[in-house]
Structure formats: C-alpha cells, structure tokens
Amino acid sequence: MPHLILVRHGQSEWNLEKRFTGWVDVDLTGQGKLEACKSGEYIKELKLNIDYFYSSFQLRAVNTLKFIQDTLRSNTKPIRAWQLNERHYGALTGLNKNEMSEKLGEDKIHEFRRSWEIKPDPLSRNNPYHPINIDAYKTIPKNKIPDTESLKDTYERVIEYYNSDIHNKLLDNKNILISAHGNSIRALCKFLFKLDNKKISLLEIPTGNPLLINLNSKQEIIECKYLDKDRAKNLLIF
C-alpha cells in the first residue's frame, strides 16, 4: 500500500506580511522553520521508508523539505519540479492582501484567490517580481513561465507533472513526500479527492502540517488525515 504525504511549506516571510507571494522566492520565518521541523517529527513517528522526496523550485518549499529530511536523517536526493510551484498571482504579486481587500472589496479578492478560472491581470515582465527576473527560475524555458495564473492553470501543470512522474511510482508501491504550496497542493487534492470546481474553493491547506494519504492498488484513497490533529482542516472528502 503506497503512502503519499503532502506538506505545505512552513510559514514564509510573506505569509507573515500577508502579501501575495506566488512565484516570488521568499524564505521561511523562524516559525516556518519550526513548523517544518515539527512536520519532520510527525512523519518520523509513522516509521515509513520514504522512497522519493519532491519539492517545487521555491526556497520556502525547498527548505521545508530540507528540515524534514534532516529530521528523518534521510540522504535521499530530492527532486525539484517547477511544475509544483505556487500559483502565479500576476499583478497582485507583492501586494498586501488586507490593503487590496479594502481597495477592491473582500468579494473581489476572494474571487481572485479561490475561483477556478478567474486570474488577476498579468504581471509586467519588467517587474523585478516576475519569475523571468528571479535567478531560481533561470533553467525554466521562458515560454513555460506564466505572467499570471488561475487555479485551473495551476491545476493543469501540477496534474500533468503528477501523471507523468509521480503516478507510476505510486503504482510501483513507492512512498512519496511532496513539499509544495497552498495552491499546488490544493490542485493535487482536487484531482485525488475528485472535488468539483466549486468545492475546491472551500479547501484550506494549513502550513507545515503533513497530510497523509494512503492509496490502494487502484489508486483509490482508503485513508486521509492530517498528522497534527490540532491544526487539521476539513478535507471535504469523508
């Protein structure tokens, strides 16, 4: 029975500042590092052998995985995939969520954040926050780097990668851990839990709380739970 563990990175510097982060490459806060270490402790209690470790290209996910692997004392080389990056928030990138709610209205910001197909205006490619101007993404083909994304766009790149690189490993009964982001994990959950476009907007993904998913031979979920029960969110599946 393969196990899939999804971990949203620990609190980032821009989580703390309530800014739209997207593809900007910010690091973890002190609390975020503690959340990552605690994630490692919860995973260690499972006594599972993790065969593959994945993260996005982004520092907050990369470092979350590093803390987890250090806690597990695992030397397995992680696989980094830009397809697991956070959703690109376009022209909202870097702006304060509370200030934009006051300016545009809470309903409009909620629509930008959680609707399935609506995307913010594109971010100028001259903006220093645009991914083409960030060193971490220099190896990604420029035609693959977005100017803005909807959740649907994020879903399509995440699930294409999952089906091409991760799915077969689970079929081969391998245990996999993915360190990623709120929206890339939300995309995976939509696919795995078979959530509709409306329900996915209700799914909350807490930082630094491992989500354990146990699958049968048909890739059907037989168990799904957050390891830190005190910080668990409704999974909308059971």
The bridge status of strand 221-226 relative to strand 3-8 is unpaired
Q: What is the pLDDT of residue 148?
A: 97
Q: What is the pLDDT of residue 218?
A: 79
Q: What is the pLDDT of residue 208?
A: 96
Half-sphere exposure of 222 (CA within 13 A, CB side): 9
Query: Is 70 exceeded by the pLDDT of residue 238?
Result: no
- Binding site for substrate: residue ranges? 8-15, 21-22, 60, 86-89, 97, 113-114, 182-183
Average pLDDT over residues 40-66: 98
Query: Is 60 exceeded by the pLDDT of residue 220?
Result: yes
Q: Known catalytic residue: 3?
A: no
Q: Known catalytic residue: 110?
A: no
Q: What is the pLDDT of residue 114?
A: 74
Which tops the pLDDT comparison, 111 or 10? 10
- The pLDDT tens digits of the residues spanning 6-35 come to 999 999 999 999 999 999 999 999 999 999
Q: What is the pLDDT of residue 237?
A: 64
Catalytic residue, candidates 86, 130, 149, 181:
86
Taking CA atoms, 187 is separated from 113, 129, 218, in Å, by: 13, 23, 20
- Binding site: residue ranges? 8-15, 21-22, 60, 86-89, 97, 113-114, 182-183
- The pLDDT tens digits of the residues spanning 76-109 come to 999 999 999 999 999 999 999 999 988 888 888 8
Among 12-16, 40-44, 146-150, 199-203, the least confident range: 199-203
Average pLDDT over residues 218-223: 86
Which tops the pLDDT comparison, 238 or 197? 197
Instruction: Give a three-class secondary structure readout of 56-118.
Output: CCCHHHHHHHHHHHHHHCCCCCCEECHHHCCCCCHHHCCCEHHHHHHHHCHHHHHHHHHCCCC
Q: How many residues does the chain have?
A: 238
Which tops the pLDDT comparison, 175 or 238? 175
Catalytic residue, candidates 3, 9, 130, 181:
9
β-sheet bridge partners, residue 214 = 3, 223
- The pLDDT tens digits of the residues spanning 139-171 come to 999 999 999 999 999 999 999 999 999 999 999
Average pLDDT over residues 195-199: 90
Note whether 224 and 212 are within 8 A (CB).
yes
- What structural domains does the chain harbor? 3-174+183-189+211-231 (3.40.50.1240)
Average pLDDT over residues 66-79: 98
Q: What is the pLDDT of residue 86?
A: 98
